[in-house]
Amino acid sequence: MELQINDNFKIISDSKQYILQKRTIQGAEAKNPGTEVWGNVGYYQTFQGVVKESIHHGIRAMDLEDIQDIADYIDQFMLGFTGKPFTLNGKLYQMVPVK
């Protein structure tokens, strides 16, 4: 399984675990500057665990300021797992399996 969450995060899995990955772009000092690289953030035994961590990363990255913003973010994030489009901070997202 490979599920794109947004431009910077995705969930992949193998037969034993789920892996949260984050996208980075290699800097000027790298061997291949400008190259997109997906690095592992963490390993999880359950889908629930990787989803929870994905939500935590999103909350920290978006610097949400109050409990209502956090609740709205979680609602919209979870809606994405249904395959339906959702909006966060004015941007339209839709999580889809990556082929």
DSSP string, the chain: -EEE-SSSEEEEE-SS-EEEEEEEE--TTSSSTT-EEEEEEEEESSHHHHHHHHHHHHHHHHT--SHHHHHHHHHHHHHHTTT--EEETTEEE--EE--
Cα(58)–Cα(64) distance, rounded to whole angstroms?
9
Tens digits of per-residue pLDDT, 6-62?
778 889 999 999 999 999 998 888 888 889 999 999 999 998 899 889 888 888 877
**Predicted confidence (pLDDT) at residue 71 exceeds the cutoff of 90:** no
In Å, the largest CA–CA distance within the chain is 44
